[in-house]
Chain A
Amino acid sequence: MLRVQNLSKSFDGTVALDGFSAEVREREVVGLVGPNGAGKTTLFNVVTGFLKPDAGEARYRGEAVTGEPPYRVARRGVARTFQELRLIYRMTVLENVLLAFPAQAGESATGAFVRWLEVSRRQRRNREEALALLAYVGLAEKAGELADELSFGQQKLLSLACCLATGGELLLLDEPVAGVAPGMVDKILGLITDLRGRGKTVVFIEHNFAAVTEVCDRVIFMDEGRKVAEGTPADIRDNPDVIESYLT
């Protein structure tokens, strides 16, 4: 589903990605782990078009996405969350989800005036779907609140709901459970597991190895922009290179 080959990227002499290659298959849950500065977030940014790689390419469903602007990559079906948690904080929870729906007729300027029947029917349907998504992630009662008023964990759930609303099939989640309360961690991990059943493919960055072990089919361990090891969570945990990387 996603294949990246020989991706390299450096910033002012600091190497973030160094000939990184990997593949993600459909309906897989892949954990991307590694120490800080290993290049995990850079990898997400390159795949989603926010950064251009110095070399190499990424292909989504066989088509090259490197060099495309972020909105195009998103429209192809790659949805992502951000480590620093991006949302429109002064909009309601419901509006954030509504914003995420793709190709809305009402988003054309003329759509506000002509074809209003189609536009309003579409908006009504989006609204129902948005409420269903919020119920799915457990934020149904928060629909009318500002995103700003949610707890950190709830905001992470909301960003997940936004990803789902885009209709994206490959979800790149940047630290979905970092910094949230233990009860919320289980809930988010439960959702990630459930998403596979809904036909989604998930790649997520996480430092919490227990969380990774719980939900991942496969783990890719990165360090200094390279893939150090790849395998089942148990393989990675016992891999001597990984142990060394984490200890040194």
Chain B
Amino acid sequence: MGYLLHILILIGIYVILAESLNLIAGYAGLLSIAHAAFYGVGAYVAALLALNYAVPPWLTVPAAMVAAAAVGALVAWPALRVRDDYFVVATFAFQVIVFSVMNNWVALTSGPLGLPGIPRPDFFGLTVKSHGGFLLLTWLFAAGVVFVCWRLARAPFGRVLRALREDEVFAAALGKNVASFKVRVFAIGAAMAAVGGCLYAYYITFIDPTSFTVTESIFIISIVIVGGAGSLRGAALGAAVLVVLPEALRFVGLPSSVAANLRQIFYGLMLILFMVFRPQGLIGEFSFRRR
């Protein structure tokens, strides 16, 4: 039972990460592999505030969101100057920088040792401890994130994002401030990824830099691509599929050391197969393959 709840909690966290990245990559077409960096910034800000200053979660979460939004706006900056492949490389570099900071700024983050003993979140006297409690908490936040993404995608704001992924020049000719939209979508997406980071930190009670690596970023973008870029349901479905399917590997009797490696191969294979045979994802409307 605990195992099942654990999987459901993970799905909730990855729904948050995938939906927020979907806004950036799926709607605006900015293929970013820096999402684990925002996720990590959120986790570290919440953990450090809770550990060092006993700040309650209703303050750590907004603080983490603001910090990640600022970092997100910073990543968008190269997006204003470079496009397509170069942009992907720029976000990749950024991801590496954030990881290095987490890993090497030992005075702040304890480096590779990580931050253990993150206190259980306490909402006005109500402490969330059980799996059930975390499941409720995670899915509540996930529902909030999905709602925000849904409103944004349907609003004229979302229409401009979809225009950007197809033709920035046309959007600019119609008077849209392309740079401002890119910065805003990155800030919003990063802030929501930070929510996922906070939940992860509170749930596991321990974070270290290895949870926020490039591999994690690639995993999140895989969810978006497999589920369907530019589709809210696609990102949620992708999160469920990519979290659950590798778990099946546990039950075919492979030793855990083999299963862990197989999981990476499985993700890679899945990504390649989808890119080649179904670039629009399970239920998406848009593919990263050029027209």
Contact = CB atoms under 8 A, between A and B. Distances in A.
Interface of A: 48, 50, 69-71, 74-75, 79-80, 82, 86-91, 95, 98-100, 102, 104-109, 111-113, 119, 123, 162, 166
9 contacts: A48-B173, A74-B172, A82-B173, A99-B159, A99-B163, A104-B156, A107-B155, A109-B157, A123-B156
Interface stretch (B176-184, B237-245, B250-258): B176-184
Contacts of A69: 172, 177
B260 interface: no
A17 B73 CA distance: 38
A74 B174 CA distance: 6
B170 interface: yes
B160 A70 contact: no
Given A99-B160, A107-B155, 4 more contacts: A69-B177, A88-B166, A113-B151, A119-B155
Contacts of B154: 112
A98 B159 CA distance: 9
B173 A107 contact: no
A123 B162 CA distance: 17
Contacts, number: 90
Contacts of A99: 156, 159-160, 163, 171, 174, 176
List the 3 closest pairs (A to B, CB-CB), nearest first.
Answer: A106-B156, A74-B175, A112-B155
B63 interface: no
Main secondary structure of the interface of B (DSSP, over half): helix
B93 interface: no
B169 A166 contact: no
Nearest to B159: A99
Given A111-B155, A123-B156, A102 B175 contact: yes
Interface of B: 148, 151-152, 154-160, 162-163, 166-167, 169-178, 184, 188, 285-286, 291
A148 to B, nearest CB: 9
Contact of A112 (B151, B167, B169, B286): B151
Contacts of A48: 173
Given A95-B159, A99-B163, A109 B170 contact: no
B177 A98 contact: no
A88 B188 contact: no
Given A106-B155, A106-B156, A112-B155, A166 B166 contact: no
A71 B169 contact: no
A75 B155 contact: no
Given A88-B166, A90-B286, A109-B184, A100 B152 contact: no
A111 B157 CA distance: 8
A86 B152 CA distance: 25
B172 A71 contact: yes
A222 B50 CA distance: 70
B152 A71 contact: no
Contacts of A113: 148, 151
Nearest to B285: A90
Contacts of B178: 71
A106 B174 contact: no
B157 A90 contact: no
Contact of A88 (B148, B152, B163): B163
B160 A88 contact: no
A43 to B, nearest CB: 15
Contacts of B170: 82, 86-88
